[in-house]
Structure 1
Amino acid sequence: MKKVSFAEFGGPEVLQLLDAEEPHAGPGQIRIAVRAAGVNPVDWRIREGQILGAHPTVLPSGVGLDAAGVVDEVGEGVEGVAAGDHVFGEGSSTYAEFAVLSAWARMPEGLTFEEAAGYPSVVETALRVIHEVGVRPGQTLLVSGASGGVGSAVLQIARDRGITVIGTAGAANQDYLRGLSAHATTYGDGWVERVRELGQVDAALDLAGSGVLRELVELTGDPSKVISIADLGAPDFGVRFSGVAGSVPDALAEAAALIAGNKLHIPVEKSYTLADAAAAHIDSRAGHSRGRRVIVI
């Protein structure tokens, strides 16, 4: 099969499209013929060699955690899924023609493989950080970097839970945030005052790692009410860095229910081929996205 891999840490140029042996499903796992794989910031962080405790890397390494596809192998002890089923979920080395998943859910009706591949990690992350930051219905959550995949999920889940959201993003994405019921404002000079004009902030999420943690602590008045998924220097500000996955199967089941209930939709901003994985990483690292990027097999 074809698979994207890297043999050394470094920039996007270390990614190679190689011929590789097919993986096989072990106990509690399934294998899928991958139709699409999600592109996440954690993918290029791992490739760069950043220290992410939840994802120790042994070289050479495959790339990718999220995928959607067709089940073609079911491991020992797995029930409720069979060859031919359409699923989306999380596993390893998903930038490939075949991948093993350790957590999955059936794809909701009407969802394409390309769309489904964009949900697993971002919805798990969104659900986790909303819980960890402790924001409650009736309160206001500030989301820095609100237009990307995780931000898109946070805004819609918060809306469903009765939480008011103030979102920051680039000028081109202001209408997108408003379409997700957020109070929107831009980055740049004066952004803290613009946020204050929109309301009192009870909790805040840093999804972009753009050097705003000091201001987020100032706006909430309490570092324990700020969570970052993107700034490894968060502990320097007394802020929790949340980079460890929570209950992935539960998150996938909730994602499927929200999608089926028309309460969650994350658009695919751009698709790539396996051969264009390096370009996908360059674009992901640049940020300023609206929704998700995926690799289509």
Structure 2
Amino acid sequence: MRIIGFTEFGGPEVLDIHDVPEPHAGPGEVRIAVKAAAVNPTDTETRQGNGAPAQLPAPHVPGMDAAGVIDEVGEPTAELDTSPWSVGDHVMAIAIPLRGHGGAYVEYLVADADSLARIPEGRSLEEASTLPMNGLTALQALEKLDLEPGQVLGVTGAAGTLGGYVVQLAKLQGLTVIADAAPKDRERVVALGADHVVERGDDFPDKVREIYPDGVDGLVDAAVMNELAVPAVRSGGGFATVRFWQGPEDSDLTFHVVWVGDEYHHGDKLDALRELVESGVVTLEVADTLPAEQATEAHQRLQEGGVRGRLVLTF
């Protein structure tokens, strides 16, 4: 089968088409004929070698989001029940590059039976492919912060896909949200439901404290500001990080390292996100679609910045 992968870490140019043996579904697994794979900043980190060490041989495959059609169903096991799935089901799934079944930039993705969900009704496979990784990351961040309705959540990077999901899910939980945005993205973030929108920048904490002098109760740092965002949070508050940063040792905040790989076997959460899309609480946005052979261009465009919604590779 065709995959988009790399044999050495580096820039977008290391991505290439490779032919590898076709995988098949074993017990407790299904095989997805991938039609769409979203391109995320995490994919560029994987390609550059900034992620977890590789546990699979090269060529390595990026991609954590896939959507397609099931074409093989393995026998159920005591741990993994494949009986809910049938050939022909349109599904979305999270993938874990460099380990397990590998990344999502592939023609055929083998997935454990509890790592996927049906796509939202009325949505395309391209749209559905933008949801799994970022949606599950947003859920995990909010679960770890564990704020109560009425408390205040700060969100950096709110105009991006992850930040946008955080804003929408936080409002569903009854939180008050203060988020950042560039002037051109302000209306976008307001439409997501943010109660307060301040201009993005290194002085985000100062702008937050102009509205909440004591700081916010918790913060999801989707923009990966790290230490620059810490002063936005009140003493004793929570800080959710998405790139394994654990915070300064002398801080009295609780730092929650968010790693979406922990959600791989939580297809039930992915299905809950499907329902939220169908009810209009969570919105999906495709910035553009490109043939999988143009993955290098997709990575270049993402790294240049300014992409709103997700670029999606199609197979």
Q: Same fold (TM over 0.5)?
A: yes
Say whether 1:206 aligns with 2:218: no
Deviating more after overlay: 286-295 vs 10-19: 286-295
- Residue 192 (str. 1) matches residue 205 (str. 2): yes
The aligned counterpart of 1:71 is 70
Counterpart in the other structure of 1:17: 17
Per the alignment, residue 120 of structure 2 pairs with 108
User: Match for 1:255 among 270, 273, 287?
Assistant: 273
Q: Which amino acid aligns with 2:135?
A: V
**Contact 1:216–1:226 (CA<8 Å) still a contact in 2?**
no
Question: 1:258-297 to 2 correspondence within 5 Å?
Answer: 258-297=276-315
38-47 vs 104-113, which deviates more? 38-47
1:172 maps onto 2:184 in alignment: yes
Q: Report if aligned partners of 1:203, 1:226 keep a CA contact under 8 Å in 2.
A: yes
- Higher deviation after alignment, 286-295 or 102-111: 286-295
Separation (CA, whole Å) in 2 of partners of 1:198 and 1:122: 28
The alpha carbon displacement at 1:56 in A equals 4.4
* Contact 1:152/1:266, CA 8 A, preserved across alignment: no
State the Cα RMSD in Å: 2.1
- Listed as ranges, the matches of 1:48-127 within 5 Å are 48-52=48-52, 56=55, 58-77=57-76, 78-91=82-95, 92-102=102-112, 103-127=115-139
Deviation at 1:87, TM superposition (A): 0.7
CA distance in 2, matches of 1:222, 1:284: 36
Mapped pair 1:29 → 2:29: yes
Work out whether residues 166 and 198 of structure 1, in 8 Å CA contact, stay in contact via their aligned partners in 2: no
CA distance in 2, matches of 1:217, 1:185: 16
How many residue pairs get matched?
293
Unaligned residue ranges in structure 2 (runs of 5+) = 77-81, 96-101
Does structure 1 conserve the Cα–Cα contact (< 8 Å) formed by 2:202 and 2:228? no
In the other structure, the counterpart of 1:246 is: 262
* Structure 2 residue matching 1:226: 3-state secondary structure: strand
Higher mean alpha-carbon deviation, 135-144 vs 42-51, is at: 42-51
Distance 1:169 1:234, change over 3 A: farther
Structure 1 contact 217–223 (Cα < 8 Å) conserved: no
1:147-186 CA-to-partner distances (Å, cap 9, x unmatched) read 1111111111111111111111322211100001112222
Q: TM-score, normalised by structure 1?
A: 0.91
Aligned partners of 1:137, 1:5: CA distance in 2, in Å? 44
* Alpha-carbon separation, structure 1, partners of 2:237 and 2:75: 43
* Structure 1 counterpart SS, 2:174: coil
The match for 2:170 among 140, 143, 158 is 158
Match of 1:228 among 237, 241, 255: 241
Confirm or deny that 1:5 pairs with 2:8. Answer: no
Shift >6 Å, 4+ stretches:
none
Residue 79 of structure 1, CA deviation: 0.8
Deviation at 1:243, TM superposition (A): 2.4
Identify the residue that residue 99 of structure 2 maps to in structure 1: none
Once the two structures are superposed, what CA deviation does each residue of 1:83-112 show, in whole Å capped at 9, x if it has no partner? 111111123332122222221111121010
The alpha-carbon distance between structure 1 residues 146 and 19, as it changes in their structure 2 partners (threshold 3 A), is same
Q: Is the 8 A contact 2:18 2:59 kept in 1?
A: no
**Shift, 1:217, TM fit:** 2.2
Structure 1 residue runs of 5 or longer lacking an equivalent are: none
